[in-house]
């Protein structure tokens, strides 16, 4: 059975013009890439960098981080795990060192396989936005506390560029780590809308 063709009539000034919704949907193009960190040790102040290429004429739509195992902070104020995204390793040009695990004196857990949408629909997040994310078998997987994710620079790039994501545990050693984190990155390819 073939897909039906839907016509949408613009009832504004261009009321005589019709647009085939199917053509618009066919021309929305996204692509994905992924990168996985090396094994994250419990050692404080170590950095875990990965890089990936953003294609030309795209905007970052989603950036999702997923740990293979639990990551747990030490439980003292300042024992955060920070995330950074930039055009240079540790540069922070796009997101500058924000705690995705914000330890204010109680250990914060990021449960294995709990996805954190660090960038979602081309936006950052308010503080503590990850609470309740990544529910698996009745266990809440998102960290209880996190800093606001602020997008400091454009997510769009006219030319291909290399971006660097960094995780960095601060202050004291992590209570639990010895795992990796995989980043899934979705790009929205921009272009003209068909007539």
Which pLDDT score is estimated for 191?
Answer: 73
Tell me the C-alpha distance between 55 and 62, whole Å: 14
Which pLDDT score is estimated for 1?
Answer: 47
Say which range, 16-25, 48-57, 182-191, has the weakest mean pLDDT: 16-25
Residue that wins the pLDDT comparison between 24 and 126: 126
Percent of the chain surpassing pLDDT 70 = 80
| pLDDT value at 34 more than 80 | yes
Tell me the C-alpha distance between 175 and 130, whole Å: 20
Helix (H, G, I), strand (E, B) or coil at 109: strand
For residue range 114-158, list pLDDT tens digits in order. 999 999 999 999 999 998 765 444 445 789 999 999 999 999 999
Domains located in the chain, CATH noted? 30-189 (2.60.120)
Which pLDDT score is estimated for 131?
Answer: 85
Question: Can you read off the two tokens belonging to residue 174?
Answer: 């992590």
Percent of the chain surpassing pLDDT 90 = 76
Region 65-88: what's the mean pLDDT? 96
Which pLDDT score is estimated for 134?
Answer: 54
By the 8 A CB rule, do 103 and 176 touch? no
Tell me the C-alpha distance between 59 and 72, whole Å: 32
| pLDDT value at 170 more than 90 | yes
Which pLDDT score is estimated for 141?
Answer: 73
C-alpha R_g of the chain = 20
């Amino acid at each position: 059975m073939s897909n039906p063709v839907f016509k949408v009539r613009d009832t504004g000034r261009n009321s005589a013009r019709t647009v085939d919704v199917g053509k618009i949907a066919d021309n929305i193009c996204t692509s994905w890439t992924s990168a996985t960190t090396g094994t994250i040790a419990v050692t404080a102040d170590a950095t875990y960098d990965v890089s990936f290429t953003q294609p030309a004429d795209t905007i970052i739509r989603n950036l999702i981080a997923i740990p293979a195992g639990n990551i747990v902070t030490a439980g003292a104020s300042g024992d955060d795990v920070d995330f950074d995204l930039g055009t240079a390793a540790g540069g922070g040009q796009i997101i500058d060192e924000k705690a995705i695990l914000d330890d204010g004196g109680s250990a914060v857990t990021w449960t294995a396989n709990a996805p954190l949408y660090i960038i979602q629909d081309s936006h950052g997040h308010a503080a503590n936005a990850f609470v309740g994310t990544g529910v698996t078998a009745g266990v809440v997987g998102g960290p209880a506390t996190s800093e606001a994710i602020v997008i400091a620079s454009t997510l769009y790039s006219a030319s291909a560029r290399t971006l660097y994501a960094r995780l960095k545990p601060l202050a004291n050693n992590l209570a639990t780590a010895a795992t990796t984190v995989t980043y899934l990155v979705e790009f929205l390819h921009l272009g003209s809308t068909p007539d």
